[in-house]
Amino acid sequence: NATKSRKVGMESMTKLTDAIRKAAVAHTNGKNTKSTTEQTMLSTTRNVRNTASLKVSNTAINSVIEDMIQSSNHIGLAEIATDENVGILERKPPPGTILISPPNPSKDSGFLDNITVRVAKPVDDLCIASLRLSLFSDFSAHMRQAFCSRSCHVLDSRRNQGAACVVATIPIRASDISDRTDIIVGTAECSIHEFYGTSLGESRLQDSILYITEVAVSPTIRRQGIGSKLMKAFDEFAKARGVETIYLHVDVANEKAYSLYEKAGYEKVVSDDFFYKEFTKSLNLHDGATKGRNHYLMHKNMRQPNWLSDVKRKIDSSNSFKMNDLAVQ
């Protein structure tokens, strides 16, 4: 059954990729003028399945995929939903909700002027997985299909735990091949279950904190403000959920990402409080844990945060006893 499901997932991904590519080409051919950026993006879409195959075993492929899913900024991506947590959150805002609208959308505007950011729907999973995959190179067709199939499974699992993705899209014309009316050019994910079982999560009001991960923008149209739109969309998402504080991690060496988050109002957590260190360690992002890389924990208060004083006092009193357990080896 697992093999059959993977095969169906791979075939579906291939069909959807072809449909989006052809729809995009049809839409582009209907215009007399095309920006260089748009041409580059569509060219990349056409070539997404043309990388030369690598002769590697299924075991090696699966190993690479699992390593990718559990490394870099794929925080907690390998976790599987449990019956205890499934359905615990109301879908708010619901899938499809528009968070950021184009300022003045029109047919004559450039496609970057017509970007919409919305809450992703399950039908978007394959496109999200493909966009995440575009951040990596030198992948065979088999590896790309296996990665997307696995990523779709994980996206569905995390959605059942209360996670949600937001997507930045540009409009395209639907066709006989595909009924999609947009192409996803940016995506990011937010969740709350990373805080489960941590002192940070236990020290805050239920559902008052949010964690951002998996920020990805199509390589062909970076530095066009899409990342900023995604971060603004999370502000709207957090307001709809009544979130007090948003957290995220960023690689110390990724200066562009750090600058993006700083401009969006995020600050580096400078406190040495135990619960911040414990939270970072729980995600395996403490210094040197991920192939020698270090990460900053950043946060943004959407409103005055409420701390559960009794829990915080208990954490502080046990701080000296637990700090040794968090020492980097």
How far is C-alpha 22 from the chain's CA centre?
26
Encode the chain (329 residues) as per-residue pLDDT tens digits: 444 444 444 555 555 455 444 544 444 454 444 444 444 444 444 443 333 333 344 555 555 555 555 544 443 333 333 444 434 445 689 999 999 998 876 666 666 788 999 999 999 999 999 999 887 766 777 888 888 899 999 999 999 999 999 999 998 887 766 778 899 999 999 999 999 999 999 999 989 999 999 999 998 888 889 999 999 999 999 999 999 999 999 999 999 999 999 999 999 998 888 899 999 999 999 998 877 899 999 999 999 999 987 665 565 556 544 555 555 44
Dump the DSSP string for 37-84. Answer: HHHHHHHHHHTTT-SPP----HHHHHHHHHHHHHSTT-TTTT----TT
- With CA atoms as reference, report the closest residue to 226 among 29, 61, 37: 37
Residue whose pair of structure tokens reads 């109301």 in the numeric block: 90
Residue type, 188: A
- With a CB cutoff of 8 Å and minimum separation 6, the contacts of 54 are 138, 139, 140, 142, 143
End-to-end CA distance of the chain: 42
Q: What is the model's pTM?
A: 0.72
Angle in degrees, 0-180, between the axes of helices 2-29 and 125-133, rounded to the nearest 10:
80
Residue 127 is predicted with a pLDDT of: 93
Residue 272 is predicted with a pLDDT of: 80
